[in-house]
Structure 1
Amino acid sequence: MAEQSKEERLQSYVRFIAESEDLPAFGQDIYELMTTVADENAPLQRLTNIILKNISLTTRLVRTVNSVYFNRTGRSILSVSQAVTMLGWDAIRDLASSLIIFEKFDKKSPGVKELMLLSLLTASNARQISLRAGYPRGEEAYLCGMFSGLGELLVACYLPKEYTSILEAMKRNNWDERQACRHVLQFSYEEIGKAIIRHWKLPEKVSGGMEPVEQFSDKVESDEQMLSLMASFSRALSTAVYRLDPREGHERVKALIKKFGSALSVKEDNIEEILKQSVDETRQSFSAAHVPLDNLRLVRHIENALSASREQAAGEIKQEEAKVEAAAPGEESTLARLTKEVESVLESGEEFDLNDIILMILEAVYRGGNFDRALFCLVDLDRSQVQARTGLGADAEALVSKFRFPLSLLSGPVGPALLKKQDVFVDNVGDSRYSKSNFIAVVGACSFGMLPVIVGSEAIGCFYFDRLSAELALDDQQKYLLRTLRDYLGEEIARRRRIA
């Protein structure tokens, strides 16, 4: 058999890595999260839905937002939409993207975990540098910094024998990373990283920071060059500080600043501040992911950048999360706790945007009922039809665009439910009169429920929820809590109308 060419060998490894578990979803989740936060016109519902698609991410995010470090109100927070509103989109972006990385690589070896944390530190370095360089899109710098070391991370994770051979070759022959990588694999880390990015069909600029910083000029002529340089410089900075001998690392940092400092508006006396800020940002992710810092080689370097007050804050997070973890799992259902949270918010006296209230209640319905999808729908001004306005769950946005029905007694079950102000619970569509209806053709559900929202004497809309392949199977307590959530919205809308 003929020996594989470099390109054939590269593609065979790409196929092997890309077919491993849910790696494509990992890359897409990160990119979708970043682009949504960067879109000034993106609705809160879209960001909430991205987070809710990942159950483990939702759980960890809620646990983290309830830590002492984040939650100074003392009020329990279970709603993802409220967490986003409270912390802000940027904080959620950093926290969620970090947790997605931890979710993917958490079960791997300590060496992989160190590379994973190095990616987060590099991402934060890149954003800090983008602020000094006047680059207008810090989230792009963060994303490119995060992905700049993707090639090595994937090789270490999915090709552990080859990765060990690369490290041994570097030590034995005194080779640099590229020499050893090409000797073992016939291609470099950046080549496989870029190939994976292409396989995921992500924008090419995401991989710009994978090139070694030595290949860049100190003259920047475009935003794209600036983005790539910031990401590559940040990775080189992280490597110098966290992976090299202190004396060698110090010399490396000086050389980096001498060549690129002017182009990036970074001076030697800025570096400590950049590193400290990055460590402070990333430390929150360490605790959220339950990765003990003591077990990582990084800690020797990180401790020098952490102040006593920050170490105390990190301890508070761990103590608070331990309390959350220790809570008895069967004491109260998620639906009951989310319902109480909604009640607490509405009774707090704070004036929230009505759309945020709607999304919070919708999330309580969706998560509390463990449904596949949940929608909030409104009757239009001339009361001729009912149309979905926002939704959560599997392909919810696609369903929102299709969920539009006449407000008529003949357009069952939507029209009759709203006109008669009647709650609807259908446990099995196949056994119901709706099995061959246009409504089921649109929603494609196996079971569903619908709760009209009543304001005054009229239904102004409804909550719709369903399961795609199982019966609804709600007990009386669950139905009561869902109705309570629905009533909270009707009462809040009525209150606002009275004071308008």
Structure 2
Amino acid sequence: MGRLGLQGWVDHIRDQDMPAFGNTVDSVLEITSNENASITMLSQVILQDAALTTKVLKLSNSVIFNPARQPVSTISRAVTVLGFNVLGQVVLTICLIDAFLAGGLRGRVAAEMARCFHAAVQARAAADACAVAQVEEVFIAALLGRVGEMAFWCFGGETANELDQALNEQPDERPEDLQMDLLSFRLRSLTTSLAREWRLGSMVVSAAEPVAHPGPAEKAIAMGHRLAAAAEQGWGSAAATKALTAYAEMLQKPLDEVKELVACNAAEAARVAAQFGATDAARLIPVPGAGTAEAAIASAAVDPEADPLLQLRILRDLAMMLTGKPSLNEVLNLVLEGIYRGLGMHRAVFALLTTDRTTLQGKAGLGHDAEALVKRFLFRLDGTKGELINEIFMRSEAFWLREPPPRGISIARFEKAIGIGEGFIAPITTHGRAIGVFFADYGAHQPDEDTWQGFQHFVQQASLSFEHVATRGVAPKR
């Protein structure tokens, strides 16, 4: 694919690798570019995806997008606080980050993301200090300022491997020169083309291809990327010192004061990356001084509070959904959100048996490091008596996992894979036969009997949904 040419790569990424993202882009752009569009139309696009809804709400409550810290618990409120167009940009950015987390050269993808998240927070701070009106747009533009690089490392296949090898073997060569040798174009040109293809905005284009006469917003973006790149050489390096000095001059503040601000911004960047679900990238962000990226990531993982009213709303929405013809994924994602947000759990995941009924495999999750939890949620059914996963499918029984474990049940295999032995787990059943499970753990706060009953009720609703779908002759996706 190395000789596809620039437009060939744009077409390849758009048509073969990111069709789902393209559909979301089209839906959101159609709404945000329509002067007559309503808040409800944008809300519906977001609410179709429970994981997207959770991330939007989390970011809507973050200091980056909501410095006044006005509580946001609904998508409608998020539109009011962030603004219609900014929320549309946030949705597109979340979808992009999720797409890039899917695979490829993960180390390269994570490194690009780390620089972009770091640059975005530093750029936003600079824009705010310089009284730029569109600070949120500056953040988004800096974050997407290397979207072509991220897309290439994620979807470049063998060509990406070749460039990776060349960069490793020739560290003294300019990366742009190696890109030209292999691709006949620079990856920043791919960023420009993709930004135009996906209509990400002129500010993203100018972040990739600097304009002749940049305004304050463009200068803030360029400074954010310069500082983030220099920091990767070490905060004590000559490049970092030079970048910090330039940053201080731009902000018109003393260097010592700026160093403290930059350190706080780096920690905030790690938190924001974790909130977007990019924990690998968050760990790569260089946090100066006594702070660490791990501490910032941990502080981003705040468990939701139990919300009885939200539980009722989700159960009502679920009942209304079942009167129509919902997809199974829509129903299960809504149940997952009810367990996670409604019951106030630390993490929640649902898993299904493979078609041959030999393996239980995680399908989707919400909460702290949910992506890793879903990947680890893989258990082979071997008929071992007394072992938790086998017993769930032999008995079709739910278990409250706590100390001591349920009598006669071994949780050793489960605890080794998941990293925790406390929580709720219950089978999804249809016509008396278990076909999957929901699992949720409860973090620092201990649940009560009402939480346990609420969990079982949500799982029962999921089981009824399976039966409802089965009566329509639609098989669940495995």
Q: TM-score, normalised by structure 1?
A: 0.50
> 1:88, CA displacement in angstroms?
8.9
Measured in 1, the distance between the counterparts of 2:135 and 2:86 equals 13
Please say if 1:306 is aligned against 2:282: no
The aligned counterpart of 1:238 is 228
Measured in 1, the distance between the counterparts of 2:42 and 2:207 equals 26
Assess, with a 3 A threshold, how the Cα gap between structure 1 residues 137 and 181 changes in structure 2: closer, same or farther. same
The aligned counterpart of 1:10 is 6
Residue of 144, 167, 172 corresponding to 1:170: 167
Assess, with a 3 A threshold, how the Cα gap between structure 1 residues 368 and 258 changes in structure 2: closer, same or farther. farther
Residue of 303, 317, 326 corresponding to 1:320: 303
The aligned counterpart of 2:110 is 113
> 1:106, CA displacement in angstroms?
2.4
Give the partner amino acid of 2:190: I
Assess, with a 3 A threshold, how the Cα gap between structure 1 residues 237 and 116 changes in structure 2: closer, same or farther. same
Give the partner amino acid of 1:181: Q
The aligned counterpart of 2:138 is 141
Please say if 1:272 is aligned against 2:233: no
Contact 1:119 1:149 in 2 (8 A): yes
Please say if 1:227 is aligned against 2:217: yes
Measured in 2, the distance between the counterparts of 1:129 and 1:86 equals 22
> 1:157, CA displacement in angstroms?
0.8
Secondary structure of the 1:187 match is: coil
Assess, with a 3 A threshold, how the Cα gap between structure 1 residues 18 and 268 changes in structure 2: closer, same or farther. farther
Measured in 2, the distance between the counterparts of 1:240 and 1:277 equals 17
> 1:170, CA displacement in angstroms?
3.4
> 1:54, CA displacement in angstroms?
3.5
Contact 2:126 2:250 in 1 (8 A): no
Contact 1:123 1:142 in 2 (8 A): yes
Contact 2:230 2:243 in 1 (8 A): no
* 1:263-300, Cα deviation, whole Å (9 max, x unpaired): 5647644543443443444344444455545x86515x
Secondary structure of the 1:302 match is: coil
> 1:152, CA displacement in angstroms?
1.1
Assess, with a 3 A threshold, how the Cα gap between structure 1 residues 85 and 65 changes in structure 2: closer, same or farther. same
Give the partner amino acid of 1:129: A
Measured in 1, the distance between the counterparts of 2:110 and 2:195 equals 21
Secondary structure of the 2:287 match is: helix
Give the partner amino acid of 1:200: W
* 1:417-463, Cα deviation, whole Å (9 max, x unpaired): xxxxxxxxxxxxxxxxxxxxxxxxxxxxxxxxxxxxxxxxxxxxxxx
Assess, with a 3 A threshold, how the Cα gap between structure 1 residues 369 and 87 changes in structure 2: closer, same or farther. farther
Please say if 1:255 is aligned against 2:242: yes
The aligned counterpart of 2:312 is 336
Contact 1:102 1:289 in 2 (8 A): yes
Residue of 110, 124, 127 corresponding to 1:127: 124
* 1:218-264, Cα deviation, whole Å (9 max, x unpaired): xx5x63xx3333222212211111x32555xx322343456676456
Q: Matched residue pairs, number?
A: 317
Assess, with a 3 A threshold, how the Cα gap between structure 1 residues 206 and 371 changes in structure 2: closer, same or farther. farther
Of structures 1 and 2, the larger Rg is shown by 1
Measured in 1, the distance between the counterparts of 2:313 and 2:156 equals 44
Correspondences of 1:342-381 after superposition (within 5 Å): none
Measured in 2, the distance between the counterparts of 1:33 and 1:268 equals 44
Give the partner amino acid of 2:217: L
Residue of 276, 282, 292 corresponding to 2:269: 282
Measured in 1, the distance between the counterparts of 2:230 and 2:241 equals 10
Correspondences of 1:10-89 after superposition (within 5 Å): 10-19=6-15, 20-22=17-19, 23-25=21-23, 44-45=39-40, 48-61=43-56, 79-81=74-76
The aligned counterpart of 1:386 is none
> 1:188, CA displacement in angstroms?
0.6
Assess, with a 3 A threshold, how the Cα gap between structure 1 residues 182 and 34 changes in structure 2: closer, same or farther. farther
Measured in 2, the distance between the counterparts of 1:32 and 1:278 equals 34
Measured in 1, the distance between the counterparts of 2:239 and 2:33 equals 33
> 1:83, CA displacement in angstroms?
6.0
Assess, with a 3 A threshold, how the Cα gap between structure 1 residues 272 and 194 changes in structure 2: closer, same or farther. same
Measured in 2, the distance between the counterparts of 1:83 and 1:366 equals 24
Give the partner amino acid of 1:147: L
The aligned counterpart of 1:348 is none
RMSD of equivalent CA atoms? 5.0
Residue of 153, 170, 190 corresponding to 1:156: 153
Measured in 2, the distance between the counterparts of 1:145 and 1:121 equals 9
> 1:46, CA displacement in angstroms?
5.3
Assess, with a 3 A threshold, how the Cα gap between structure 1 residues 97 and 124 changes in structure 2: closer, same or farther. farther
Give the partner amino acid of 2:259: E
Give the partner amino acid of 1:298: L
Assess, with a 3 A threshold, how the Cα gap between structure 1 residues 32 and 145 changes in structure 2: closer, same or farther. farther
Contact 2:248 2:258 in 1 (8 A): no
Secondary structure of the 1:206 match is: helix
The aligned counterpart of 2:187 is 189
> 1:136, CA displacement in angstroms?
1.8
Contact 1:17 1:158 in 2 (8 A): yes
> 1:159, CA displacement in angstroms?
0.6
Measured in 2, the distance between the counterparts of 1:142 and 1:31 equals 19
Structure 1: unaligned runs, 5 residues or longer: 71-75, 341-362, 373-472, 475-500
Assess, with a 3 A threshold, how the Cα gap between structure 1 residues 24 and 270 changes in structure 2: closer, same or farther. farther
> 1:49, CA displacement in angstroms?
3.5
Identity value in percent: 17
Q: Which moved more, 1:143-152 or 1:272-281?
A: 272-281
Contact 1:144 1:231 in 2 (8 A): yes
Measured in 2, the distance between the counterparts of 1:9 and 1:91 equals 33
Give the partner amino acid of 1:156: W
Structure 2: unaligned runs, 5 residues or longer: 66-70, 327-467, 470-478
Q: TM-score, normalised by structure 2?
A: 0.51
Measured in 1, the distance between the counterparts of 2:243 and 2:72 equals 44
Give the partner amino acid of 1:207: V
* 1:377-425, Cα deviation, whole Å (9 max, x unpaired): xxxxxxxxxxxxxxxxxxxxxxxxxxxxxxxxxxxxxxxxxxxxxxxxx
Give the partner amino acid of 1:244: Q
Give the partner amino acid of 1:209: A
